[in-house]
């Protein structure tokens, strides 16, 4: 049986009070924490949502499955690495044996996002999938996971802000002073972002547009909320909050790219319909690289100088040429006779007048 690890959360102005055991249950002597259960629930819902939206993004569900097999473990490593890097001087330098103890806490969401994006880029490059389309799909699930996962911070009594007495939703952790419930701010911010992008995604015009809007939305919100927290990671002993600076910076970059797309780029209609690049076999690639356009007519291969013979060359003259001079003269005589007959048929009156004149002369 596990020992109870209690967290007391109180919202004094709302008259709400919670006493939560961080350990949900024990299994074979191992404690299973509510934090882990909540994170797993958020991940499960995110995966279900993304699979149901694969059709909208024209992504093969098998590709999403394969990507998750790589992205999930690497994102966990990235979340831990991000935290350890910026806590190394103040904590892990003197306790390097604790770096791998991930179950003691110490994960940073931005580390997970960075690792996940890099994994997606590599996977899409290998599988010849448009990176922007896959990121558009995945960040929707990410918002679900972030929205739900923040409630794991609530159970642990962490990710709260500075002291304040100005708002009706202030909270107290384990009998401490009233503080900002930053976990709640971020959860609601992510929920709002998810709802907006869920309905807008059907009208997206560019590959990567949803991803860029997510980066701008989350970066701006995280930058504001991070300024309220008291447990921020700082940039190597300086007073600069890492996640706040990173959030605002990525927000500015994403907004700049979006403005460029909207003003100077045509919508990616064809790419949205088919996010997969054309796959060519080795023989097809070699054939495409070595194709030399051969002229069909041997006579047309060389430039014309005016001295060439064009016997029976319909393509150049439009009809066959006479074989000798007699034939040419016969053709000319026949053509003259045909011309005279045509003129007589067109001017019968003139012909009759000429006949009368001849008769008068004879008389």
- pLDDT digits 0-9 by tens, 52-107: 999 999 999 999 999 999 999 999 999 999 998 988 887 787 888 888 888 777 88
pLDDT of residue 231: 87
pLDDT higher for 309 or 196?
A: 196
Question: How far is it, in rounded angstroms, from Cα 255 to Cα 250?
Answer: 8
pLDDT higher for 314 or 20?
A: 20
pLDDT of residue 59: 96
Give the ranges where 209-347 is alpha helix by DSSP (H). Answer: 209-226, 242-264, 269-273, 282-290, 298-301, 314-317, 325-346
Return the sign of the alpha-carbon dihedral for residues 243, 244, 246, 248: positive
Question: How far is it, in rounded angstroms, from Cα 331 to Cα 138?
Answer: 80
pLDDT of residue 301: 47
Question: How far is it, in rounded angstroms, from Cα 56 to Cα 204?
Answer: 11
Question: How far is it, in rounded angstroms, from Cα 62 to Cα 129?
Answer: 13
Q: Is the pLDDT of residue 111 over 90?
A: yes
Q: Is the pLDDT of residue 109 over 60?
A: yes
DSSP string, 38-76: HHHHHHHHHHHHHHHTHHHHT--HHHHHHHHHHHHHHHH
What mean pLDDT is predicted for residues 337-355?
55
165 alpha carbon, distance to own chain's centre: 43
pLDDT higher for 212 or 308?
A: 212
Ranges of each domain in the chain: 36-276
């Amino acid at each position: 049986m596990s020992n109870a690890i209690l967290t007391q959360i109180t919202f004094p102005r709302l008259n709400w009070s919670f006493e939560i055991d961080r350990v949900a249950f024990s299994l074979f002597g191992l404690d299973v924490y509510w934090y882990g259960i909540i994170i797993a629930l958020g991940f499960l819902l995110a995966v279900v949502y993304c699979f149901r939206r694969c059709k909208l993004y024209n992504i093969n569900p098998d590709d999403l499955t394969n990507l998750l097999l790589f992205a999930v473990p690497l994102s966990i490593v990235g979340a831990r690495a991000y935290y350890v890097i910026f806590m190394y001087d103040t904590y892990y330098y003197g306790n390097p044996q604790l770096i791998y103890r991930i179950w003691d806490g110490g994960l940073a969401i931005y580390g997970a996002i960075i690792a996940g994006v890099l994994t997606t880029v590599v996977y899409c490059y290998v599988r010849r999938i448009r990176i922007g389309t896959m990121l558009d799909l995945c960040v929707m699930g990410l918002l679900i996971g972030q929205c739900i996962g923040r409630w794991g911070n609530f159970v642990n009594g962490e990710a709260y802000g500075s002291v304040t007495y100005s708002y009706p939703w202030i909270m107290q952790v384990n009998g401490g002073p009233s503080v900002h419930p930053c976990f709640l701010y971020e959860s609601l911010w992510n929920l709002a972002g998810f709802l907006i992008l869920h309905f807008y995604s059907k009208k997206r015009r560019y590959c990567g547009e949803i991803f860029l809007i997510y980066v701008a939305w989350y970066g701006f919100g995280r930058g504001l909320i991070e300024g309220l927290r008291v447990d921020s990671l700082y940039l190597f002993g300086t007073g600069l909050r890492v996640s706040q600076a990173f959030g605002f910076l990525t927000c500015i970059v994403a907004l700049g790219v979006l403005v460029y797309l909207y003003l100077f780029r045509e919508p990616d209609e064809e790419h949205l319909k088919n996010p997969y690049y054309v796959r060519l076999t080795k023989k097809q690639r070699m054939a495409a690289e070595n194709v030399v356009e051969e002229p069909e007519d041997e006579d047309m291969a060389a430039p014309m100088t005016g001295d060439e013979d064009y016997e029976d060359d319909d393509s150049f003259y439009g009809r066959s040429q006479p074989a000798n001079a007699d034939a040419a003269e016969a053709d000319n005589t026949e053509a003259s006779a045909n011309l005279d007959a045509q003129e007589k048929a067109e001017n019968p009156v003139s012909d009759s007048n000429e006949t009368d004149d001849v008769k008068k002369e004879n008389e």
